[in-house]
Amino acid sequence: MNKNMLTLTKWNFKASDETEWLPAQVPGCVHTDLLRNGKIPDPFYGTNEHDLQWIDKKDWEYETVVEIDPQLQAQAKVELVFEGLDTYADVYFNGVKVLEADNMFRSWRVDVKSLVKADGNAIRIRFRSPIQEDLPKLEKLGYPLPASNDQSELGGLGDRKVSIFARKAPYHYGWDWGPRFVTSGIWREARIEAWSGVRLDDVFIRQDEITAASAKLTAVASIEAEQAWQGKLRVSAAGQVWEKEVQLAEGSNTVELELAIAEPKLWWCRGLGEAHLYDFQVELARDQHTAASYQVRTGLRSVRLMREKDERGTSFYIELNGTPVFAKGANHIPNDSFLTEVTAERYRHEIASAAESNMNMLRIWGGGIYEEKVFYDLCDEYGLMVWQDFMFACSMYPGDKAFLENVRLEAEENIVRLRNHPSIVLWCGNNEIDSAWAHYDENAGWGWKKDYTHEQRERIWADYESIFHRILPEAVASYAPGAEYWPSSPLVSLSGDKDQHANPSTTSGDIHYWGVWHNTEPFDNYNVYVGRFMSEYGFQSFPEPKTVRTYAEESDMELESKVMLAHQKNGAGNRLIKSYMELYYHEPKDFEAFLHMSQIQQGEAMKMAIEAHRRNKPYCMGTLYWQMNDCWPVASWAGMDYLGRWKALQYVAKRSFRDVSLSVDSREQEVRVHLVSDVNEPVRGTLRVQLFDFDGKELYASEHPVDAEAQASFVAFRAAEDELLQGHDPSRVVLLAQLLQKDDVLDSKTHYFVNDKALRLRRPNIRVSEVDGSGGTAFVLESDVLARHVWLSQEEEGFYSDNFFDLIPGIPVTVSFNRRNAAGETPFVTGRPGQVEVRSMADCIDPAAVVSV
């Protein structure tokens, strides 16, 4: 193949009803182009979001003029290619309309050879307003479809919700953690491709049977031929070469070549082994000449979604290479409201942070996008499994012929694009729609059904089934044979009756538990509602003050200010944070302290949930909290804020997700120390249990040998509270459990007998000393009295090896600083943090609540 490519980056843009052309950045979108040209203020600052809703009501135009080299023009095919157009776009090449796009999630390719000129070639794109485009569809349908998170009122549309008609990222229309910025633009690469002869469009390394002894594979090559062609298909990998003679017809061809690798190195998720990747080089050759080539990097592994009946219901877990995996991680949303602002470094920071936090899975939630290639490449590399939703969330969708066909093409293309990534272990139809609509249970769901007649209900549900029970599973089966598909999250099973729909008490399928938070249930209910796989649950906090000040002035630093309310997308969110805090914590001394305390509260809530799920292994085999990241600076459920700064939750996750972990709980006046192991080797060591008063005096101590089998979960120690307390004031003591292996502490957890509000804290004197020889990158922390929730902050961007921990007098803690590295492929490097500040909860609460010496 003689192939040439010209990337199209130099564009101008304007509103269709205006005359001034301005420079545009492609890939990009209207909002970011307006911002770069000084036409709008920072969309994320203050309440600016509210003033920028006019942008999505206009049509916008982009244009470029390109010189196409004679070498390109001479090829048999000259194609205009768009990897992504957002969303409704008419494309003109030298004044001729060549393309009409209507799906953000699809790519577009058209042959323009007959239109190419010797000199300047004009390309113009008119992006039709997604709002104006879809309002007539709502009118034609005759009744609204549920779309709970579509912030139509903020967008000036009243109750007219049109997001469900567009195959466009749902969160662009607003969510309960994100702003409403309904974008338009060329959001992925645009280029001219020219070729002659043959072209390898795609190669799928189908994994037919994978064991430790052998990998039986098939290379499935999709080939485009200009005319009939004869030659060889050659595949090489791991020092082996396979080839076969092929005869291609003009047009599209599919050729299969069987491959086999003896004793393959398997791909494992983080914690279970190496995430080994193979590079496959694929060529079409004739007469020692390579006519076309293609590269695939993939990992060899077997994956099954295990759903087996047992005495309590039906299991739900991922089996990787024959090994049951307890999934630990979080839900991922897009990293920005403006997708082209997400750099490769930002992706690496997120994925490396997840791995650093001992996660092994991320769920790509269905209200965002099918992610960029770099995201999946990084998950492949770091050994993070991916639960991949299709892009449908919290809404009912139309079922007309054109919409369903658009969905089918979208699904097929994205499955083909992503199917070689070993990290993707599950495809899921949608987020929360089965349980929200609850078709078979009149008294369940989110109350949507009551707004419709019986005939409308049946039609809406039939349209739902067309997408999630027919089109999507058929696409997965056809284009990624052997891959697992789950119709909706959460779901019990496709039983066709009321038992299909998940609730917090179901003992099969996966669960989204939101009783804590949305229903204001107590934190202790995290110990009560534990399902087979907890695919969503969460609790909100604010980002740190430094991040809050990127969108707010000092005068805005008040819980009910307009700016704080604008950056709280969950209507009751600020009130819920405050009401839970009043229940469990002393009153913060000021608003900045409130911001810190909100993070502490979030971390403690998630610690209780995560550890409850892990203690219940193997009944529960997955815990994915909501959410990993943010798309703008905001109060949310994220563990890492928009700027990539770790909240308290991220440190809690790192500790609670340790592969070998201790967990302490107290019920019915008994304290239990659990050991949970997610590794495939036995764990032997010593469990040390100590009780200290807040001055560091040891009041109780015992040691117990531990001999844990692989993948174990059991109670390693239990004792009555009275036996441990021996009459000491429970508000003035702390229990410390440590798992020791020779001189190493594998895990360490503190436990209190009362909640934080009842603790009799004194103001600690915390000493921070540099570790000799560390060059100012590591520190020892010590305290004269118990210091609860100690956190370090610093000038440089990065995170500590541990943070938001407790300091017991006489037991120093050593931490090191990891500086965020914006350059190169190493996401974090050991570095100096700059000026370090240390605080604890006693510094945040009302001074009247601090016990005087």
> Residue 686's CB: how many other CB atoms inside 10 A?
13
Q: Which whole number is the average pLDDT over 308-312?
A: 96
Q: Which whole number is the average pLDDT over 815-826?
A: 88
Residue 139 phi, psi dihedral angles, 5° rounding: -60, -45
- The CA distances from residue 123 to 22, 76, 81, 265, 493, in Å, are 16, 20, 12, 48, 50
Chain mean pLDDT for the chain: 96
Tokens, residue 284: 């079409």
Domain boundary among 731, 760, 789: 760
Residues 274 and 362 in one domain: no
Q: Which whole number is the average pLDDT over 345-364?
A: 97
Beta bridge mates, 787 = 807
pLDDT in tens, 645-676: 999 999 999 999 999 999 999 988 999 999 99
pLDDT in tens, 603-659: 999 999 999 999 999 999 999 999 999 999 999 999 999 999 999 999 999 999 999
Q: For residue 622, what is the domain's CATH number? A: 3.20.20.80
Residue 409, C-beta contacts closer than 8 angstroms, at least 6 positions apart: 103, 106
Q: Is residue 313 part of a domain?
A: no
Domain boundary among 591, 620, 645: 645
Residues 675 and 812 in one domain: no
Residues 603 and 480 in one domain: yes
Per-residue model confidence (pLDDT) at position 847: 87
Give CA 204 to chain center in angstroms: 25
Residue 362, C-beta contacts closer than 8 angstroms, at least 6 positions apart: 329, 330, 331, 332, 351, 354, 379, 384, 385, 386, 387, 624, 628
pLDDT in tens, 797-812: 999 999 999 999 999 9
Residue 644 phi, psi dihedral angles, 5° rounding: 85, 10
Residues 635 and 722 in one domain: no
Give the Cα separation of 37 and 314 in Å (integer).
57
Q: What domain range includes position 600?
A: 319-645
Q: Is residue 651 part of a domain?
A: no
**8 A C-beta contact, residue 278 and residue 495:** no
Work out how many domains the chain is built from and give that number: 5
Per-residue model confidence (pLDDT) at position 849: 83
pLDDT in tens, 184-201: 999 999 999 999 999 999
pLDDT in tens, 48-100: 999 999 999 999 999 999 999 999 999 999 999 999 999 999 999 999 999 99
Share of the chain above pLDDT 90, in %: 97
Per-residue model confidence (pLDDT) at position 853: 59
Residues 575 and 494 in one domain: yes
Domain boundary among 744, 760, 776: 760
Give the Cα separation of 807 and 638 in Å (integer).
26
Residues 447 and 591 in one domain: yes
Give the Cα separation of 566 and 560 in Å (integer).
10
Can you tell me which residue has the tokens 């396979």? 242
Q: For residue 237, what is the domain's CATH number? A: 2.60.40.10
Residues 241 and 328 in one domain: no
Q: Is the pLDDT of residue 1 over 50?
A: no
Residues 720 and 746 in one domain: yes
Q: Is residue 719 part of a domain?
A: yes
Per-residue model confidence (pLDDT) at position 288: 85
Q: Is the pLDDT of residue 3 over 80?
A: no
DSSP-derived letter for residue 510 is B
Residues 640 and 668 in one domain: no
Per-residue model confidence (pLDDT) at position 250: 96
Q: Is residue 303 part of a domain?
A: no
Q: Which residues in 105-114 are b (16+ Cβ under 10 Å) and which e?
A: bbbbeeebbe
Give the Cα separation of 333 and 363 in Å (integer).
9
Residues 330 and 476 in one domain: yes
Alpha helix (H) residue ranges in 489-640: 515-518, 545-548, 562-566, 573-584, 591-615
Q: Is residue 294 part of a domain?
A: yes
> For residue 713, what pLDDT band results from cuts at 50, 70 and 90?
very high
Q: For residue 150, what is the domain's CATH number? A: 2.60.120.260
Beta bridge mates, 244 = 233
Residues 249 and 176 in one domain: no
Query: Is the pTM of the predicted complex or chain greater than 0.85?
Result: yes
Residues 182 and 210 in one domain: no
Give the Cα separation of 116 and 737 in Å (integer).
73
Q: Is residue 793 part of a domain?
A: yes
Q: Which of 148-152, 219-223, 521-525, 739-743 has the lowest mean pLDDT?
A: 739-743
Q: Is residue 286 part of a domain?
A: yes
Q: Is the pLDDT of residue 417 over 90?
A: yes
- Of 322 and 847, more confident: 322
Dihedral over alpha carbons 270, 272, 274, 275 (to 10 degrees): -50
| Active-site amino acid positions | 432
Tokens, residue 119: 């000199």
Cα dihedral across residues 432, 373, 30, 41: positive or negative: positive
pLDDT in tens, 554-568: 999 999 999 999 999
Give the Cα separation of 385 and 326 in Å (integer).
11
Q: Is residue 311 part of a domain?
A: no
